[in-house]
């Protein structure tokens, strides 16, 4: 608890710097390219188009199935949009200390806050994608409704989990390049094993396997966004799924805190 309080206090003290560094991280990401910020929209748009064309036009998987009355492209987009944030946080979160090693080696900047401002910068881009998603739904004739009010809850839960993940992973990634490579190799596997391309609740699998899949935080977030845009389900209407996520969030927070307590003194020397 002492380590957790220390980390929390560092975030409070350095809160203004975190916002400035989050903006600087966005500028750094898209600087040097002619289209600049447009890539934050173009890259996800191309990815969604390719998957939609492959599944709905090519393989015709999206046809003849029930998506609560919505077109497949909207169902797919609702679950895919949060993946872009989670995908970046899985890899860039694990590499945060190496990307900003000068803050560790040349300045007395608190290590625990580096993954946080990286997460905030990706969240700002995610907010832009949410706006595009709402406009896309409007083009199909589906206006936002009251269920959109729970979007900040899902975004906050997603942000908290991936800050904890980044806190845990960036320390191990700084200590060992092999860990970062392992995360990169597992990212695609997590994409296909998570409930982004399918609905875990309707899968024809044993119940024990369904519960294991529901413990996946990526599945929780993807399903949550679909509950907002597609299925119109409030977060408290699935208390068991929320409980699974909170358990995983607590475990990840404990792992991140303990890892920080053991490794933060060694990181500057390694970097």
Q: Cβ(194)–Cβ(218) under 8 Å?
A: yes
Tokens 């890259």 found at: 43
**What mean pLDDT, rounded, does the chain reach?**
86
Tell me what percent of the residues of the chain surpass a pLDDT of 90.
34
| pLDDT band at residue 215 under the 50/70/90 scheme | very high
Quote the pLDDT of residue 10: 83
Of 52 and 86, the structure prediction assigns the larger pLDDT to 86
In the structure encoding, which two tokens stand for residue 20, read together?
Answer: 């400035």
In this model, does residue 66 exceed pLDDT 70? Answer: no
Quote the pLDDT of residue 33: 62
Quote the pLDDT of residue 229: 93
In this model, does residue 27 exceed pLDDT 90? Answer: no
Question: Which residues, 6 or more positions from 11, have their beta carbon under 8 angstroms from its beta carbon?
Answer: 18, 112, 113, 116
Task: Report, as an integer, the average pLDDT of 50-66.
Answer: 71
| pLDDT band at residue 153 under the 50/70/90 scheme | very high
What DSSP character marks residue 31?
T
d(CA 269, CA 271): 6
- Using DSSP's 3-state secondary structure scheme, residue 210 falls into helix
In this model, does residue 261 exceed pLDDT 60? Answer: yes
In the structure encoding, which two tokens stand for residue 191, read together?
Answer: 């994409």
| pLDDT band at residue 32 under the 50/70/90 scheme | low
């Amino acid at each position: 608890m002492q380590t957790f309080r220390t980390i929390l206090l560092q975030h409070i003290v350095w809160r203004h710097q975190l916002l400035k560094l989050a903006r600087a991280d966005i500028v750094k990401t898209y600087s040097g390219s002619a289209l600049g910020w447009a890539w934050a929209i173009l890259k996800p748009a191309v990815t969604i188009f390719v998957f939609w064309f492959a599944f709905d036009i090519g393989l015709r998987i999206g046809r003849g199935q029930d998506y609560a009355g919505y077109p497949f492209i909207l169902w797919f987009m609702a679950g895919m949009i949060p993946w872009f944030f989670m995908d970046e946080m899985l890899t860039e979160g694990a590499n945060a200390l190496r990307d900003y090693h000068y803050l560790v080696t040349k300045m007395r900047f608190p290590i625990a806050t580096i993954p946080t401002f990286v997460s905030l910068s990706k969240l700002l881009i995610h907010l832009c994608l949410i706006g595009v998603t709402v406009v896309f739904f409007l083009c199909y004739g589906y206006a936002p409704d009251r269920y959109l009010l729970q979007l900040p809850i899902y975004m906050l839960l997603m942000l908290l989990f991936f800050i904890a993940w980044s806190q845990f992973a960036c320390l191990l990634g700084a200590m060992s390049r092999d860990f970062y490579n392992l995360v990169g190799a597992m990212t695609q596997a997590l994409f296909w094993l998570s409930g982004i391309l399918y609905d875990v609740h309707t899968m024809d699998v044993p119940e024990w396997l369904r519960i294991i899949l529901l413990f996946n935080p990526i599945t929780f977030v993807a399903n949550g966004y679909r509950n907002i845009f597609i299925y119109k389900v409030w977060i408290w209407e699935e208390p068991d799924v929320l409980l699974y996520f909170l358990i995983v969030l607590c475990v990840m927070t404990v792992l991140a805190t303990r890892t920080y307590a053991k490794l933060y003194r060694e990181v500057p020397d390694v970097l």
